[in-house]
Structure 1
């Protein structure tokens, strides 16, 4: 009899537990997302109807497949990255307006291109609007965790990420590294051209990545720069693996399943952490160096975090340096050289400026500040091919932007690509390469200059912006003063999204020594 009673009690507990678990799952996966949607619908905001668990992921895949475009041989006459990569967003915007909602799994996203709302969102400084929880979980493996406060310090709920100013202070002292790494690339291209008989078809992507990786490895890891190159190679592999999971973001439990891509990411994360901490231990034994890693270590030393949190602090900062100082620079410089190759008149104009200012010397910080035409070309290249396509935030409490009340838990996306090429803002030639629009600076380039945000805008601007611009300008100036180049007949124009927007088939140039 006692056994039967015990069995009944166990069964009752199991039933109650099962019901409780079901109710919790129902609330997280169905009730809460629907409550958020209802709050937005009452304000006139609509969007494509979602399915349970997957949201609009299947519809996005279907629309991407239906609207996928064949790659273009040679440079396009119009540079419409948004249409090439995110045509489904354009379709939804035409149907639902400049503010609409959609879902990735059970993550509800408010897509915003309303100009005044974008201004408010991008200049909002409170921690109540921060890095989305899904991004910290799904992509924190690559990007690190943290949101930026109004005083320039990155904070997560648990730990701190270095402020951009601490990196920016190092930029002036890194110019000599940029010059050295650029000359290495120039000498390498000279050797290739000589071996090919005076003109060479060069796929420049890996050359530009090697240049940028060399700069940031030496800047970050000092005398351990060769180890830094290994770390960045692994981070590049992790970036490629992460990009394959973009659409699975928000699917409940997906990141815990031992899928092939997850196992690959877990292995890379473990290896990267081990490599970084090994360099850190070697540094502690070897002593002080004046590099970014030392800045990270000194900041960590003054904190009150546990050892695990300190390790995470160091690893996260190295990951942020990678994306901000390495990948965005390499990809942006590659796109800029593609545009100069496709527009020989601008290549000649900028080359003449560079030769006049440098007079045979290697460009330095003072010289590149005088290069107005080069700055115009870089700005226009970043407008058409910004390194970041979307700025994403999550509301950690109820808030209001414009006349829209945004409930806690809703994610807000500002779509940079759309804003950078909107004809209403930039004029009827918005999809064309016309650097002259920046002749009088960014503030005069369009009707609403706050919508130009290749590195983000306001208090959350990318920490690597200054370094990226210095690297790009010195690199392009030296290439222009040593070589002429055109697009190779083998070049295929196919922008691809790998967390940053990069050439899907690489960029091949015919390069000739001047």
Structure 2
């Protein structure tokens, strides 16, 4: 009798799970969810919704296609048919990013938090306000100016390595690892005065970052990243991808902790004079009352890791021949002797056409093409009711290509558009958002922009970049905008 009842109980339990899954995947999204009335593309799969299209097509292309077809506020389906709102309405963007910034939080990203902790990127509410207030003084004009020699030094190393390739007879060069390592070296120096030297040697921290950001993106990696948000225990499955991820996280955590301890010891001895961000933050932190201080865990994750993605997007346009020629003329005029390319902060930012190129590249290759948020309570935005816990995607890449904002050439790379007063007068931080907007915008945007300009200036002043015949570079969407399969260009030296 007991056996029969136990079997019946198990049967009811299994049927309950099947019923719940059926409801969540096949019934709730299409017949009950308040989002069912929003227009948008039909789901392609009960398992992955529309994610396959987003991951296989070029970055931003599906979102732009859907917005043009269905309107500026639409719905698509994520994992297990979870409905997601896609917004490209600038008035709603203003509400979410400015007026109600702390009512819309970031969705859980278990992999991201494991990797970089709850620093400014993942902190929420009062924790974010406190960290932001403490961090702002580290990014003053004078502090960013002091970082410029580090950018120049690493850019010169990058130049020398490319010259070595050319001198050995190689002209078609994969620039992705060079750009990635140069950016990592910059992050090490300006972030925490740490010499990665990844351009010229092996380093445990550089290897850890490389294993996360530059290893081939496989379907398994994507699945593990997504599933870990719902079932954290998937990271315990003894797979090579999991082992590599956990080892990298452990290395980053260990080295970051050591660096914080070293800086604190220097501060205690009155020897902490560095202008790197970690040193600046510790000096600021030490002057605050206990309730306002950052914890050691918060301090060790305050850096500029996302710059690696931003610079990769910028350099996609190195192959634009006309851009190279016009920019080179400006650079030659400003720096006649390319061997003495050593600009100050003010000099590099005074170059008009370089500024136009950087703005245009960030328009077409925003560091984050989509910003994800979840609302903490029911919201009414415009004419739209958005129920609590709705996943929202602010489509930055789509807003940056809307013809009603950017004109009929919105899809084209045209730096000169930034010299047109009729366009520039209509551009604001509501329709041009490469570094987001409001209290959650990228605090290191000035650092990133200055780095872009100096490294790009060194490259264009010294080399000619052209497309490789028959080789097509796509913009991959996942895990972040990046050249796919890699940034391969035909390179030659600019004669003095």
TM interval, short-chain normalised: 0.7 to 0.9
Task: Supply the distance in 1 between the matched residues of 2:424 and 2:391 (Cα, whole angstroms).
Answer: 32
Q: Alpha-carbon deviations, 1:457-477, whole Å to 9, x = none?
A: 233221221111101111222
Tell me, yes or no, if the aligned pair for 1:332 and 1:387 is still in contact at 8 Å.
yes
Q: 1:237 aligns with which of 199, 211, 216?
A: 211
The Cα shift of 1:112 comes to: 0.9
**RMSD value over aligned CA atoms?**
4.2
Per the TM alignment, residue 436 of structure 1 is displaced from its structure 2 partner at its CA by: 1.1
- Within 5 Å, give how 1:79-478 maps onto structure 2: 84-85=58-59, 87-90=61-64, 92-93=66-67, 96-105=70-79, 107-132=82-107, 134-135=108-109, 137-145=110-118, 155=124, 161-162=131-132, 165-169=136-140, 170-196=143-169, 200-222=171-193, 225=196, 230-239=204-213, 245-246=221-222, 249=226, 253-257=230-234, 258-259=236-237, 260=239, 261-285=241-265, 288-290=272-274, 291-298=276-283, 310-318=295-303, 321-323=304-306, 325=307, 327-338=308-319, 342-343=320-321, 345-360=322-337, 361=340, 362-440=342-420, 444=424, 450-478=430-458
Match of 1:79 in 2: none
> Normalising to structure 1: TM-score of the pair?
0.77
Distance in structure 2 (CA, Å) of the matches to 1:285 and 1:155: 30
1:209 alignment partner, SS class: helix
Contact 1:241 1:265 in 2 (8 A): no
Distance in 1 (CA, whole Å) between partners of 2:281 and 2:31 is 42
| CA distance in 2 between partners of 1:404 and 1:388 (Å) | 25
Q: Is the 8 A contact 1:213 1:229 kept in 2?
A: no
Distance 1:177 1:375 in 2: 20
User: Which position in structure 2 is the counterpart of 1:73?
Assistant: none
**Within 5 A, what are the aligned runs for 1:468-507?**
468-489=448-469, 491-507=471-487
Q: Distance in 1 between matches of 2:283 and 2:208?
A: 25
Q: 1:363 touches 1:477 (CA, 8 Å); kept in 2?
A: no
Alpha carbons of structure 1 residues 406 and 59: separation in structure 2 relative to 1, 3 Å: closer
The Cα offsets for residues 193-221 of structure 1, whole Å up to 9 and x where unpaired, read as 3343xx83332222222322222211223
- Once residues 176 and 442 of structure 1 are traced to their aligned partners in structure 2, the CA distance between those partners, rounded to angstroms, is 37
CA distance in 2, matches of 1:499, 1:448: 28
Which region of structure 1 is more displaced relative to structure 2, 465-474 or 420-429? Answer: 420-429
Q: CA deviation at 1:405?
A: 2.2
SS in structure 1 of the partner of residue 99 of structure 2: coil
What is the CA-CA distance between 1:138 and the residue it aligns to?
4.2
Tell me how far apart the structure 2 counterparts of residues 128 and 179 of structure 1 sit (CA, whole Å): 41
Counterpart pick for 1:30 among 21, 24, 46: 24
Deviation at 1:286, TM superposition (A): 5.1
The whole-number CA distance in structure 2 between the counterparts of 1:433 and 1:48 is: 28
Mark the runs of 5 or more structure 1 residues left unpaired by the alignment. 69-82
Quote how far apart the aligned CAs of 1:295 are: 3.4
Give the SS at the match of 1:127. Answer: helix
- Do the aligned residues in 1 keep the contact of 2:50 with 2:78 (CA within 8 Å)? no
Displacement after TM superposition at 1:452 (Å): 1.6
Tell me if the contact between 1:390 and 1:415 (Cα under 8 Å) persists in the aligned partners: yes
Secondary structure of 2:486's match? coil
User: Given the two structures, how large is their TM-score scaled by the length of structure 2?
Assistant: 0.79
Aligned to 2:38: 45
- Note closer, same or farther for the CA distance 1:95–1:356 as it changes in structure 2 (3 Å cut): closer
Q: Match of 1:118, SS?
A: helix
The 1-side partners of 2:116 and 2:75 are apart by 25
Q: Against the structure 1 CA distance between its residues 328 and 303, is the aligned structure 2 distance closer, same or farther, given a 3 Å change threshold?
A: farther
Cα distance between partner residues in 2 of 1:185 and 1:447: 35
Q: Tell me the distance in 1 between the aligned counterparts of 2:314 and 2:61.
A: 25
Runs of 5+ consecutive residues of structure 2 not aligned to the other structure: none
Distance 1:299 1:224, change over 3 A: farther
Per-residue deviation, 1:410: 0.8
Structure 2 partner of 1:80 = none
Mapped partners of 1:445, 1:55: distance in 2: 45
For the Cα contact (< 8 Å) 2:101–2:439, is it kept in 1?
A: no
- CA deviation string 1:40-89 (max 9, x = no partner): 348x42445669xx86615532x469xx6xxxxxxxxxxxxxx6245544
